[in-house]
């Protein structure tokens, strides 16, 4: 019996069945480790949400490829509280809408809910900020506008894909106001300066920041009339994952506002 045990031990050390079992166990462990690492890596990737955004300072803009502005900062803070990260990719506005509609990106900044947009986007109840749209004119070309109907006969510059509220849509649909549509807000201001139209409608904060960057702050100013006050939101592509996420995002954004952090972010970007 002792002799048989001795022979078996020698047989094992020289690559017999026991060695093969151990090798198989080692391979199995390695495969399991790789599988767990793969799953963990996939989970990390799934925690990053990509947003399509457009240049719209100070709300959102890029510097050296990095997204800045109060909307990206708010979204980062909200997603951080959900143990998620945000990725912001800049596109022209119409392309941003097209990409999120086709589910090529998970979400979009920043827009106002409309019936058409609600067809392909989920919107949280909480808004990111409020956009106050006003008319910008060249100094010396002012006109009296006590109310929106006083724009009758005027041509107003707009930016493609932007929503300026129901009242503006009404006067345009009624033929009281003609529009000249451009691709960007910057293009709109340059066309205004060239005399292509009477006024250019733009978000007050965005317009003021853009005029400063163009060196036109002393040449163009905003009229008192507010065309519309529109709430701006993050929109989420209609996927099963986003159907769950949008409610979590909404709750986290509400909590951010209640903490006062939301206002701090706004103040830091608008000072």
pLDDT at residue 138, as a whole number = 98
Number of compact structural domains in the chain: 3
| pLDDT at residue 13, rounded to an integer | 38
What does the pLDDT average to over 256-271? 96
pLDDT of residue 271: 82
Is it the case that residue 256 has pLDDT exceeding 80? yes
- For residues 156 and 225, membership in a common domain is answered with yes
d(CA 152, CA 154): 6
Q: Are residues 224 and 190 in the same domain?
A: yes
Residue 49 bridge partners (DSSP): 86
Q: What is the pTM of this model?
A: 0.73
Considering the domain architecture, whether residues 91 and 23 belong to the same structural domain is answered as no
Tens of pLDDT, residue by residue over 90-126, are 999 999 999 999 999 999 999 999 999 999 999 999 9
Judgement on whether residues 174 and 190 belong to the same structural domain of the protein: yes
Looking at the structure, do residues 200 and 140 belong to the same domain, yes or no?
A: yes
**Residue pLDDT, tens place only, 173-223:** 999 999 999 999 999 999 999 999 999 999 999 999 999 999 999 999 999
Determine contact, residues 203/57, Cβ cutoff 8 Å: no
CB 137, CB 143: distance < 8 Å = yes
Question: At a CB cut-off of 8 Å and minimum separation 6, what does 114 contact?
Answer: 163
With a cut of 90, say whether residue 246 has pLDDT above it: yes
Same domain, residue pair 117 and 191: no
**In which band, very low, low, confident or very high, does the pLDDT at 12 lie, cut at 50, 70 and 90?**
very low
| Full residue range of the structural domain in which residue 38 is found | 2-45
Mean pLDDT taken over the chain: 88
Mean pLDDT of 254-260: 98
Predicted local confidence at residue 6, as pLDDT: 43
Count CB atoms within 10 A of the CB of residue 3: 7
Q: Are residues 102 and 118 in the same domain?
A: yes
Do residues 180 and 196 lie in contact, with contact meaning Cβ atoms separated by under 8 Å?
yes
In this structure, the strands spanning 155-159 and 85-90 are: unpaired
Same domain for 150 and 225, yes or no, is yes
Tokens linked to 104: 């090529």
- Write down the pLDDT at residue 2: 45
Mean pLDDT along residues 157-168: 93
- Token digits of residue 1: 């019996």
Q: Are residues 185 and 72 in the same domain?
A: no
pLDDT digits (tens, 9 = 90+) for 26-54: 555 455 545 544 444 444 444 899 999 99
Among candidate residues 128, 164, 113, 132, the one with its CA nearest the CA of residue 229: 132
CATH of the domain at 152: 3.40.190.10
């Amino acid at each position: 019996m002792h002799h048989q045990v001795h022979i078996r031990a020698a047989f094992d050390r020289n690559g017999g069945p026991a060695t093969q079992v151990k090798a198989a166990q080692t391979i199995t462990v390695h495969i399991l480790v790789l599988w767990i690492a793969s799953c963990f890596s996939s989970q990390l990737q799934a925690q990053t949400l990509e947003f399509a955004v457009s240049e719209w300072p100070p709300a959102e803009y890029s510097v050296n490829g990095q997204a800045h502005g109060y909307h990206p900062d708010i979204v980062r803070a909200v997603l951080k509280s959900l143990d998620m990260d945000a990725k912001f990719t800049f596109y022209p506005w119409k392309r941003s809408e097209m990409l999120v509609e086709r589910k090529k990106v998970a979400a979009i900044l920043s827009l106002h809910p409309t019936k058409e947009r609600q067809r392909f986007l989920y919107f949280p109840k909480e808004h990111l900020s409020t956009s106050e749209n006003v008319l910008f004119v060249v100094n010396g070309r002012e006109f009296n506008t006590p109310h929106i109907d006083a724009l009758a006969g005027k041509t107003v510059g707009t930016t493609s894909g932007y929503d300026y509220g129901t009242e503006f849509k009404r006067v345009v649909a009624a033929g009281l106001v003609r529009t000249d549509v451009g691709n960007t807000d910057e293009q709109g201001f340059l066309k205004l300066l060239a005399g292509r139209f009477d006024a250019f409608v733009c978000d007050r904060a965005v317009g003021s920041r853009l005029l400063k960057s163009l060196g036109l702050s002393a040449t163009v100013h905003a009229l008192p009339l507010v065309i519309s006050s529109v709430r701006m939101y993050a929109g989420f592509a209609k996927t099963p994952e986003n159907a769950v996420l949008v409610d979590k995002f909404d709750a986290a954004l509400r909590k951010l506002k209640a903490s006062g952090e939301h206002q701090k972010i706004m103040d830091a970007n608008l000072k």
